[in-house]
A and B are shown apart, each in its own frame.
Chain A
């Protein structure tokens, strides 16, 4: 199956700053790249996704970029707020085979 690596494992930023989380994948056949946010004690929830035919997608304060040549994709959160504190997971799928990165614990300090 696909191998997804995610960095950093922990990230601490000041409220209002930007946060960037990066992921790489191994199989060039991967065609769908979602990002999930998991708050403590809750299920992972989809926050944004991108397909392989698109290079960038933005939704308010969050954006995802995809570089198919380098096989990496990134999550960008601008103007961070304390409620953005959570664990974020990237994933890559080859059709219906979805594999996740190890997660990034983001802490936003007020």
Chain B
């Protein structure tokens, strides 16, 4: 079956602009999480959505926002881009099972460069 699909793969934006990234989860997965990955900083948690509701949120400024649609596809938006927002943005989708989650799978990511 199809994996987690992120679009676009690469993006170049100018400081001050805004950007929207998209993530389509594996069919049947209703939980979608977003991470920012920069060299030496690991996987920084942004937020997680389930059934169109944000359930968990990391420590990022309000310029970072997201949403989830009824078909479980998710988007994240970054407004007023800064040079430091340049990173690989990864999303992951998963199933809910008794007591937790299963099948936590990452997409290939969107490489955002802010110039």
Contact = CB atoms under 8 A, between A and B. Distances in A.
Contacts of A96: 31, 33, 48, 50, 55-56, 94, 96, 100-101
Contacts of B107: 43
Contacts, number: 59
A100 B50 contact: no
Looking at chain A's contact residues, the main secondary structure is strand
Interface of B: 31, 33, 35, 41-43, 45, 48, 50, 55-56, 58, 90, 92, 94, 96, 99-101, 104-109
A51 to B, nearest CB: 7
B109 A31 contact: no
Chain A interface residue number, banded: 20 to 34
A44 B45 contact: no
A67 interface: no
Contacts of A89: 42-43
